[in-house]
């Protein structure tokens, strides 16, 4: 027969008990035994620092490469960075992103031909960029040439992003083919 919970609660007497004096130390000992503290790993920080160093070296190399030798002409080559600080920020942003995308590409026998095709297109755009920079040096500042330089940087970055997407598609297709044959 069911009992009424009110009656049970009236009859309930709370028991008094106390914990041992070393209870907290025992508990903490068991806790540390079950969940030991992990040392923090800073490997990702080292990787990020090395990527930043590689990108900065690549950008500085690219910027040194685009300057004109004094023996060629007395004209100093003008690039986006010499026009204004805002243009320099834009140019550095795109060049850093381009160098990062190139550095993150992984060459495999399966994607080598695809990489070669895209990198050839990027090199052609790089040559165009240098030609436009020389044109900007020879002429008075022309907004059309400046726009063309920025569009050139954007196209190079878009090509590299498309390349990464196609490589990912190739890898997923290969994985799907491997899974279907198993």
pLDDT tens for each residue of 16-59: 778 788 888 898 888 888 887 777 777 877 888 888 888 888 88
Structural domain includes residue 35: no
Q: Distances in Å between the alpha carbon of 173 and those of 1, 80, 169, 180?
A: 67, 41, 6, 10
Pair of tokens at residue 33: 């035994």
For residue 119, is pLDDT > 70?
yes
pLDDT of residue 66: 57
Structural domain includes residue 104: yes
Structural domain includes residue 111: yes
Neighbours of 15 (CB within 10 A): 5
What digits encode the pLDDT tens for the residues 139-172?
767 788 888 888 888 888 888 888 888 888 888 8
Q: Please state at what angle helix 85-103 crosses helix 143-181, rounded to 10 degrees.
A: 20
In the chain, how many domains are there?
A: 1
pLDDT of residue 70: 43
Distance of CA 4 to the CA centre of its chain: 66
Structural domain includes residue 56: yes
Q: Is residue 61 within 8 Å of residue 94, measured between CB atoms?
A: no
Domain residues for the domain of 116 are 43-181
Structural domain includes residue 6: no
19's torsion region: left (phi>0), alpha (psi -120 to 50) or beta?
Answer: beta
Structural domain includes residue 16: no
Structural domain includes residue 2: no
Please say whether the dihedral angle defined by the alpha carbons of residues 25, 26, 27 and 28, taken in this order, is positive or negative: positive
pLDDT of residue 73: 46
What digits encode the pLDDT tens for the residues 61-79?
777 765 544 444 444 566 7
Residue partners of 145: CB distance under 8 A and separation at least 6:
132, 135, 136, 139
For residue 1, is pLDDT > 80?
no
Structural domain includes residue 12: no
SS3 at position 170: helix
Q: Of 55-59, 95-99, 106-110, 139-143, give the lowest mean pLDDT range.
A: 139-143
pLDDT of residue 160: 84
């Amino acid at each position: 027969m069911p009992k009424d919970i009110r009656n049970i609660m009236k009859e309930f007497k709370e028991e008094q008990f106390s914990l041992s004096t070393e209870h907290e130390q025992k508990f903490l000992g068991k806790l540390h035994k079950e969940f030991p503290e992990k040392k923090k790993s800073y490997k990702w920080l080292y990787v990020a620092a090395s990527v930043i160093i590689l990108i900065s070296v690549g950008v500085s190399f690219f910027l040194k490469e685009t300057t004109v030798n004094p023996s060629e002409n007395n004209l100093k080559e003008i690039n986006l960075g010499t026009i204004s600080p805002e243009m320099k920020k834009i140019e550095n942003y795109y060049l850093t992103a381009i160098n990062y995308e190139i550095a993150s590409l992984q060459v495999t026998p399966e994607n080598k031909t695809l990489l070669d095709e895209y990198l050839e297109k990027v090199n052609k755009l790089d040559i165009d960029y240098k030609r436009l920079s020389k044109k900007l040096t020879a002429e008075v500042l022309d907004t059309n040439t400046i726009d063309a330089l920025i569009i050139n940087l954007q196209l190079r970055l878009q090509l590299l992003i498309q390349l990464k997407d196609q490589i990912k598609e190739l890898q997923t297709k290969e994985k799907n083919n491997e899974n279907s044959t198993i």
